[in-house]
Copies of this chain bind each other. A is one copy, B any other.
């Protein structure tokens, strides 16, 4: 069985070392980063759990978690916050961002081990069941990421891969402008080179397929496209 990969992000090096040692003893693979900025450079999608210090360097753990939540590739990774601050307020902020648990410093290693185990168990179960049935919707538009089906006002519409991925991008980030370059890098593979205008053509095709909702894909002249809700 493949070991779970855990990333610890904390600016206290000693603490990182302790966590790393003890969690690796438990059989996890543990990486460490000493700041949110450093952590964001990593390919975070490969971790099954993040332990984030709330108070550190430039970017707080909360901010980092927020960034993760908005990227589909990392949005579902469970997060446990570590913090010295144990006010009710912080706890709430944490849980609002989608914290899976919350550990206050100082903590016992046993406690950390127990919570990590619990979160991972929960995550494993949910990952299996839920992942397949993720639905993206906007009013009468629904995309089923599991079976790749799209329905527009109740009736199913056949989508091509490009159309599907573009609409997915838009529905995952409504009200955010995507430049053609961004769309290109997210929907097309790196090894192909296509003209900017290709996007336009595919936008036209997408708009047609989603009927009335085509109007929600708005052109931002000079910048790109945006799905407005």
Contacts and interface: CB of A to CB of B under 8 A. Distances in A.
Nearest to A218: B147
Contact of A38 (B40, B67, B98, B130): B98
A180 B1 CA distance: 10
B181 A146 contact: no
A191 to B, nearest CB: 11
Given A130-B67, A161-B221, A146 B177 contact: yes
A221 B160 contact: yes
Interface in A206-229: 220-223, 226, 228
A189 to B, nearest CB: 11
What is the oligomeric copy number?
Answer: 2
Interface in A177-210: 177, 181-182, 185, 190
The interface residues of chain A, by DSSP majority, are classed as loop
Contact of A223 (B121, B161, B181): B161
A98 B41 CA distance: 9
A88 interface: no
Given A41-B100, A100-B41, A185-B121, A176 B221 contact: no
Contacts of A176: 132, 146-147
A126 B37 CA distance: 10
Question: On chain A, which size bracket covers the interface?
Answer: 35 or more
Interface stretch (A46-54, A70-78, A104-112, A135-143): A70-78
Interface string A140-162: 00000011100000000000110
A14 interface: no
A223 B148 contact: yes
A177 B148 contact: yes
A207 B122 CA distance: 30
Contacts of A60: none
Contact of A181 (B1, B34, B160, B226): B1
A90 B43 CA distance: 21
